[in-house]
Amino acid sequence: MAIQTVATQPFDDQKPGTSGLRKRVSRFQQPHYLENFVQSILDVGEGLRGGTLVLGGDGRYYNQTAIQTILRMAAAHGVGRVLVGRDGLLSTPAVSAVIREHGAAGGIVLSASHNPGGPDGDFGIKFNTANGGPAPEAVTDAIYQRSREIAEYRIADTADIDLTREGTTELEGMPVEVIDPVADYAALMERLFDMDAIAAMIADGFRLRFDAMHAITGPYARRLLEERLGAPAGSVVNAEPLPDFGGGHPDPNLVHARELVALMNGPDAPDLGAASDGDGDRNMILGPRFFVTPSDSLAFLAANATCAPGYAGGIRGIARSMPTSAAADRVAEALGVPCYETPTGWKFFGNLLDAGRVTLCGEESFGTGSGHVREKDGLWAVLFWLNILAVRGRGVGDLVRDHWQRFGRNVYSRYDYEGVDAEAAGRMVEGLRQRLAELPGQSFNGLTVSAADDFAYTDPVDGSRTEHQGLRVFFEGGERLVFRLSGTGTEGATLRVYLEAFEGNPERQARPTAELLAPLTAAAEALAGIRSHTGRAEPDVIT
């Protein structure tokens, strides 16, 4: 047997964050770094020995090297078989779909998602369990513990496997099946949406633009939007996955999806604009001169879910991450279904979905999804929107404005201060945490605090407890501020400030977000002293 046992020493920084382990490529390239973490996953993941492992990534730099290493280690570990996407590609939602469709014990996704790629960019590894979802905290904690004590790993000493062609090869007795990365996912979408109605709308002249940002969703969007639904060639742009995402930042927001935003704000805007991120789980939805906030998108999909065949029977409930606006809560209340508030990160939705308590989930960070997989799903959200537009026959902006009239508008913005000094950011958040108890009754820029806390969550299904998930400050007028530090960055700290106010007056609802939030923005500065702590006058990204 060509299995080698290699002596190694633990690294002390292999603690997974909000979504997997993310580091600079150069860190992953250090001898044994990748192998240590992969061995820790293999040791902790249940049912992998003798079971099926799904493997793929977003095509970023180091994807190809890492895939070959993981295949060799899986063989050495005694994994039963590996399903790997052709060319080593699989989007995050596709990994989830394949795990579920093929009864796999788990999956490994190679991606740092919305973080930039390339030799000087970031790389990442996520582990998903048998339900298709991100490993819950108990599992990621166990992986981290394992990484702290690892002394050796095992790897097959074999040549690279050809991943360019579909079919099965053996690696030290372990079958490696190279699969079409799109097929299972596309079949799932066919079951959920009225593709013929969408195709008819497109044939009728409805125009769309999908920006894949040179990341993983290109092949999926081409297959579904252009080939299946008949959108003209060129409707999907930047469709070729590139190792460095063409030098861009594969984050579908108003700053990084610049070209798309300019098109949608211009005179010849198509009817729908959309973009997705590095690994295909995020989505941004735009109408002509209209940006749909992800929080509103979740609420809108919930209110209109029965338009799509896959949700014709209605939804069981909604879950949203804490920083996400309460727009979805209003819809849940109107529908008479529960709405859960979870910590940031998709891993907290898995139990609620598995228990059948919710159908739709969402985050303010351009993430929406449902029980069809256990991940957020960018292209799914776009198809859902298209299905609703096909049924309702009106424009994006009109429909959202109608939604606000009916439910009121949760005016919302997120400010990101990226790459700030980690100690300064930590001091700011810690200082605020110390003051939480004394805030109620105090006023900032004329807004009086009604309550403040450090968000903690007890999972209603398994009782697990998660603490310190963001500082919440509520005001008497219904406004809310949230402060938290990102768990996905790799350089310094990213401070996120989430601002939310409620506007029930239809006359004022269409006013610009920044104008409606101006008093709260000033209150945030007065309360937290963001400028003096971070040295930043303005955030890097406003969503």
Contacting positions for ligand VG1 (CB under 6 A) = 18-19, 113-114, 277, 281-282, 321, 344-346, 363, 365, 367, 486-488, 496
Q: Is 251 in the site for Co ion (CB under 5 A)?
A: no
Binders of Co ion: how many residues, by CB under 5 A? 4
235 binding partner (options ligand VG1, Co ion, none; Cβ < 5 to 8 Å by kind): none
Q: Is 122 in the site for Co ion (CB under 5 A)?
A: no
Q: Is 416 in the site for Co ion (CB under 5 A)?
A: no
> Based on CB atoms, which residue is closest to ligand VG1, 373 or 449?
373
> Based on CB atoms, which residue is closest to ligand VG1, 329 or 363?
363
* CA dist., res. 88 & res. 21, Å (int): 19
Strand ranges inside 13-163, DSSP E:
21-24, 52-57, 81-89, 106-110, 122-129, 152-156
Q: How far is CA 470 from CA 95, 208, 324, in A?
A: 29, 37, 12
Least separation in angstroms between CB 346 and ligand VG1 = 6
Q: Is 113 in the site for Co ion (CB under 5 A)?
A: yes
> Based on CB atoms, which residue is closest to ligand VG1, 100 or 376?
376
Q: Which of 283, 229, 217 is nearest to 253 (CA)?
A: 283
19 binding partner (options Co ion, ligand VG1, none; Cβ < 5 to 8 Å by kind): ligand VG1
Q: What is the DSSP string of 181-235?
A: TTHHHHHHHHHHS-HHHHHHHHHTT--EEEE-TTSTHHHHHIIIIIIIT-PPTTS
Least separation in angstroms between CB 13 and Co ion = 21
Nearest to ligand VG1 by Cβ — which residue? 113
* CA dist., res. 409 & res. 295, Å (int): 11
Dihedral of CA atoms 530, 535, 538, 541 in degrees, nearest 10, equals -90
Contacts of 10 (CB under 8 A, 6+ apart): 36, 147, 148, 149, 150
Candidates 108-116, 187-195, 493-501, 523-531; binding stretch for Co ion (CB under 5 A): 108-116
Per CB under 5 A, the list member of 58, 101, 271, 281 interacting with Co ion is 281
* CA dist., res. 342 & res. 516, Å (int): 27
* CA dist., res. 382 & res. 202, Å (int): 14
> Based on CB atoms, which residue is closest to ligand VG1, 181 or 408?
181
> Based on CB atoms, which residue is closest to Co ion, 279 or 364?
279
Least separation in angstroms between CB 346 and Co ion = 9
What is the helix (H) or strand (E) element at residue 473, kind and residue range? strand 471-475
Q: Is 277 in the site for Co ion (CB under 5 A)?
A: yes
194 binding partner (options ligand VG1, Co ion, none; Cβ < 5 to 8 Å by kind): none
Q: How far is CA 175 from CA 66, 72, 301, 345, in A?
A: 18, 12, 41, 33
488 binding partner (options Co ion, ligand VG1, none; Cβ < 5 to 8 Å by kind): ligand VG1
Q: Is 279 in the site for Co ion (CB under 5 A)?
A: yes
36 binding partner (options Co ion, ligand VG1, none; Cβ < 5 to 8 Å by kind): none
DSSP type of residue 494: E
Candidates 6-14, 48-56, 248-256, 270-278; binding stretch for Co ion (CB under 5 A): 270-278
Q: Would you call 321 helix, strand, or coil by DSSP?
A: strand
Q: Which of 428, 409, 429 is nearest to 532 (CA)?
A: 428
Least separation in angstroms between CB 521 and Co ion = 27
Tokens linked to 206: 């409805």
368 binding partner (options Co ion, ligand VG1, none; Cβ < 5 to 8 Å by kind): none
Total Cβ atoms within 10 A of residue 187 = 11
276 binding partner (options Co ion, ligand VG1, none; Cβ < 5 to 8 Å by kind): none
Q: Which of 89, 79, 140 is nearest to 110 (CA)?
A: 89
Least separation in angstroms between CB 115 and ligand VG1 = 7
Least separation in angstroms between CB 165 and ligand VG1 = 29
> Based on CB atoms, which residue is closest to ligand VG1, 146 or 484?
484
Q: Is 363 in the site for Co ion (CB under 5 A)?
A: no
509 binding partner (options ligand VG1, Co ion, none; Cβ < 5 to 8 Å by kind): none
Catalytic residue list contains 113: yes
Q: Would you call 254 helix, strand, or coil by DSSP?
A: coil
> Based on CB atoms, which residue is closest to Co ion, 21 or 178?
21
Single-letter amino acid, residue 138:
A
Least separation in angstroms between CB 150 and Co ion = 28
Q: Are 408 and 508 in contact (CB under 8 A)?
A: no
> Based on CB atoms, which residue is closest to Co ion, 211 or 277?
277
Contacts of 211 (CB under 8 A, 6+ apart): 237, 238, 252, 257, 259, 260, 273, 274, 275, 276
Candidates 27-35, 42-50, 143-151, 272-280; binding stretch for Co ion (CB under 5 A): 272-280
Q: Which of 304, 534, 291, 287 is nearest to 426 (CA)?
A: 534
Q: Of residues 113, 276, 295, 370, which has the active-site annotation?
A: 113
Contacts of 257 (CB under 8 A, 6+ apart): 211, 213, 251, 275, 284
Nearest to Co ion by Cβ — which residue? 113
306 binding partner (options ligand VG1, Co ion, none; Cβ < 5 to 8 Å by kind): none
Q: Which residues are catalytic?
A: 113
Given the rule CB under 5 A, which residues bind Co ion? Answer: 113, 277, 279, 281
